[in-house]
Amino acid sequence: MTYPTGNLDDTVHQRHRLGILTIASEASRVEFTYLCEVLQLTRGNLNRHLAVLEEARLITLEKGYDGRRPKTWIVITKEGRVALSKEITALEELVHRHRANES
C-alpha cells in the first residue's frame, strides 16, 4: 500500500503546471497570454513550464494567427487528461485522510 503522496506526479504537481493543465482541461484550447494573466507568470516562466509539460506529452502547442497577430494556444492531450485525473484523485485521497483525522 502506498501513501497517497506517492501517487503525486512531480511534473503535474508543481502549482503552475497543475494550473496550466486544469485550465487547459476546461476548454478545447487556451491562449498563452490568458495563462500568463490568470497564473500571474512572466512569458519566460510560462514558456519554461509549457516546455516541461510538452516534453512529457501532457500538452501540445498550436501556433497561428488571430488576424495579423501571432498567437500560441495550449491544448491538453489525452495523456495530460489522464495525468491530471490521477493527480486530482491522489489529492482527494489526501484531503479525505486529513478530514477523517480532524475530529
Per residue in 52-74, pLDDT (tens digit) is: 999 999 999 999 998 999 999 99
* Residue 47 clears pLDDT 90, i.e. is over it: yes
Which fold would CATH assign to domain 9-100? Arc Repressor Mutant, subunit A (1.10.10)
As a whole-number percent, the residues of the chain with pLDDT over 70 amount to: 99
Q: What strand order describes the sheet that includes 69-76?
A: 30-31, 69-76, 59-66
Confidence of residue 32 (pLDDT cuts 50, 70, 90): very high
* Residue 1 clears pLDDT 80, i.e. is over it: no
Cell output for 59: 500538452
